[in-house]
Amino acid sequence: MVSNTPTAVDAATADIAVLLILSCCRNANQASENIRSGRWRHGMAMGIDPEGKTLGILGMGGIGKTIAKRMSGFEMKIIYHNRTRLDKKTEEKYNATWVDFETLLRTSDIISVSVPLNKDTTSLLSYREFTLMKDGVVLVNTARGKVICEDALVNALESGKVVSAGLDVFEGEPTVHPGLLAHSRSVIFPHIGTFTKESQKKMEMVALGNLEAALTRNTLITPISEHKKFFKN
């Protein structure tokens, strides 16, 4: 039987998603490169304000909910798509509205990806899906790299369909698509979503708790979803 550390990663991963969203909106990557090269704002594209924009969250689990909570302070309209719709009380708590998958793609100004990787979500966003998105959309991925077809993403960046992409995960990490490395509007991190002292400790404590439960009570505290049916906690 297999366990994982679901809730321990929510806050730190959501923080990275927010950092990527804001960095993409304000063109922070190019700004930093400009000032280090002595160019000030020469040649920089203007950023965009998040206020008043529509944020579409793909995957409204623990991380998605925390992203919604964090971004609610920016006066955005928050929509989401999830394999299971949240109950009304939870939607109201996070000020989030459920929409179908294609509606989210068509109407979001910023898309944040937080879905698990499985056979249904591999290449969830590819060439067809990018054609449905708004021109100038911002795309952020803190889920798993293989959820997005990177060839299609680079094509969308080069055409301007995607104005900026913020990625903490990659299809073949640690290898990164050369088109993403070269593009000035791609904000890329080396999978640091949970790379904080506090989050690592929380993950370790959950893992140790599962180990203790397995050895002393023949159970798991946080089994993966496929194995939850075997446990009654």
Strands 54-58 and 137-141: unpaired
| Res 230: pLDDT | 86
Measure the CA–CA gap between 37 and 10, rounded to whole angstroms: 36
Cα distances (angstroms) measured from residue 59 to each of 76, 111, 125, 226: 18, 11, 13, 18
The C-alpha angle with vertex 68 and arms to 144 and 116, in degrees rounded to 5, equals 20
Mean pLDDT of 51-72: 97
pLDDT above 80: residue 233:
no
- Of the pLDDT bands very low, low, confident and very high (cuts 50, 70, 90), residue 28 is very high
* Structure tokens that stand for 134 in this block: 């708004």
- Of the pLDDT bands very low, low, confident and very high (cuts 50, 70, 90), residue 232 is low
| Res 68: pLDDT | 98
Measure the CA–CA gap between 105 and 99, rounded to whole angstroms: 10
* Residue 18, phi then psi, degrees to nearest 5: -65, -45
Any idea which residues carry the catalytic annotation? 144, 173, 191
What's the maximum distance between 2 C-alpha atoms anywhere in the chain? 64
Contact indicator for 97, 68 with CB cutoff of 8 Å: no
- For residue 208, the tally of other CB atoms under 10 A from its CB is 10
Q: Which residue has the higher pLDDT, 231 or 55?
A: 55
* Structure tokens that stand for 115 in this block: 């879905």
* Structure tokens that stand for 43 in this block: 């040649």
| Res 203: pLDDT | 97
| Res 13: pLDDT | 97
- Positive or negative CA dihedral for 102, 106, 108, 113? positive
| Res 231: pLDDT | 79
| Res 205: pLDDT | 97
Contact indicator for 118, 93 with CB cutoff of 8 Å: no
Mean pLDDT of 215-233: 87
- Tell me the pLDDT tens digit for each residue of 140-180: 999 999 999 999 999 999 999 999 999 999 999 999 999 99
pLDDT above 90: residue 213:
yes
Name beta bridge partners: 137. Answer: 162
| Residue indicated by tokens 């899906």 | 129
- Tell me the pLDDT tens digit for each residue of 98-107: 999 999 999 9
Q: Of 122, 109, 111, 133, whose CA–CA distance to 53 is shortest?
A: 109
Residue ranges in 160-226 assigned as alpha helix (H): 178-182, 197-217
* Mean pLDDT score across all residues of the chain: 96
| Res 67: pLDDT | 98
| Res 225: pLDDT | 85
